[in-house]
Structure 1
């Protein structure tokens, strides 16, 4: 029997919840950057009600644990921990960048994807993925990158296939990140969705609620302490 999983993501401007029950996916999503804490539990109640089940039927929580807005990531992690604690459920931490790549695969059958989320401060969170049997597989760990051509970075995917760009980082800084326009930037894949995190959960090792930690990707130069601090 397929596990009943509840996915939650508040790491970006979009608040997203999805429930997989009996091979169906029930989902809610809204761009509410300052209302995640007010909206997310309502979305949870709505998808459970639509499926006709209670939280006691859920087998695990899938959490979008970053990278993204520090506040948004913390909200998602805290809500996921609270729900998991209440019913002694395992938590499956899924990257928001991986969820973007999975969305690109689902919507466009993309093969090589570079996900980029706007990190503000003239930087982006970025990672690359490969489509392996319909599932996004990471080719590198998430990084913080400045607004310079990503295609010139040593980690850039070496492939003969077309590379697509997914996420708000490409939407905001496409010209700086890809001045030679080598990347097919997807206009309709900008923010991660919890529904795609359900697909990725099968590849993630679950953790106990108290072991769940946010994924903060920091630029080590930016965050280095100044002398005397």
Structure 2
């Protein structure tokens, strides 16, 4: 099994996780506006807890968005620096997909609509279906990731489960879509543990990038990311 360090700072939650020897260690905290101060000490602590160093990792993963612009820049910058310093591959994971996977792990409902508050009267939303087979877990996307007004989401004929803070949006409540959900988990945030598990699947399928391409996904065209030389070297 690969050893993968994962982190997420896309929402007010700040989390790190380490997938190692088939298990996942995680440190998850609700810490608005503290991500920049917390993330490196949290990473160091979880590596120390497992008794390994960065050089022993197989890859680093992060919640690449959508989410808070500032939060996504923090995680992408940290991951770029660490990956450059240790010459490690990177696995960007959708925060919406991680949310859906969290719900699937908890309930085993197969159809999920994760949503996050995008501000400006909009939400980030996507749709994922999970199925188990002898070859492992299959995840398909039935609604592509998007940022939109809640009234533009449309209806869904099948039962679906809903997860994420976007479902607290006033316009979603008023649209009636929320009432269509067979299950609602609106108090969940993306977790590094789920990102680590999804990263294991991607790693085994060869879906990795180099540090230069560890960039956020904002879903808003007017926001751009400039790749910077690494500022975090070996510690």
Normalization by structure 1: what TM-score?
0.86
Match of 1:111 in 2: 110
**Are 2:24 and 1:47 equivalent residues in the alignment?**
no
After the TM superposition, which parts of structure 1 deviate over 4 Å for at least 4 consecutive aligned residues? none
Q: Which of 212, 215, 222 pairs up with 1:213?
A: 215
Match of 1:62 in 2: 61
- SS of the aligned residue for 2:144 comes to coil
Q: Is the CA contact 1:48–1:54 (under 8 Å) kept in the aligned structure 2?
A: yes
Encode CA deviations 1:52-108: one digit per residue, 9 max, x unaligned: 111111110011110000000110101111111110000001000000000000011
- Partners in 2 of 1:23 and 1:95 — Cα distance? 22
Match of 2:124 in 1: 125
- Partners in 2 of 1:170 and 1:209 — Cα distance? 33
Q: Is the CA contact 2:62–2:75 (under 8 Å) kept in the aligned structure 1?
A: yes
Match of 2:231 in 1: none
Number of residue pairs matched by the alignment: 213
Deviation at 1:181, TM superposition (A): 1.0
Encode CA deviations 1:114-164: one digit per residue, 9 max, x unaligned: 011000111000000001224543223210110316343xxx4x53xx201
- Partners in 1 of 2:112 and 2:161 — Cα distance? 5
Match of 1:187 in 2: 185
Match of 1:145 in 2: 148
Which has the larger share of strand? 2
- Partners in 2 of 1:101 and 1:35 — Cα distance? 25
- Partners in 2 of 1:180 and 1:52 — Cα distance? 45
Distance of aligned partners of 1:198 and 1:76 in 2 relative to their CA distance in 1, 3 Å threshold? same
Normalization by structure 2: what TM-score?
0.84
- Partners in 1 of 2:17 and 2:177 — Cα distance? 36
Q: Is the CA contact 1:148–1:176 (under 8 Å) kept in the aligned structure 2?
A: no
Q: Which of 164, 167, 178 pairs up with 1:167?
A: 164
- Partners in 1 of 2:6 and 2:109 — Cα distance? 23
Match of 2:232 in 1: none
- In structure 2, the gaps of 5 or more residues are 223-235
- Partners in 2 of 1:177 and 1:136 — Cα distance? 28
- In structure 1, the gaps of 5 or more residues are 224-229
Distance of aligned partners of 1:176 and 1:203 in 2 relative to their CA distance in 1, 3 Å threshold? farther
- Partners in 2 of 1:84 and 1:19 — Cα distance? 15
- Which moved further from structure 2: 195-204 or 110-119? 195-204
- Partners in 1 of 2:160 and 2:54 — Cα distance? 40
Match of 2:174 in 1: 176
- Partners in 2 of 1:132 and 1:176 — Cα distance? 32
CA RMSD, aligned part only? 1.9
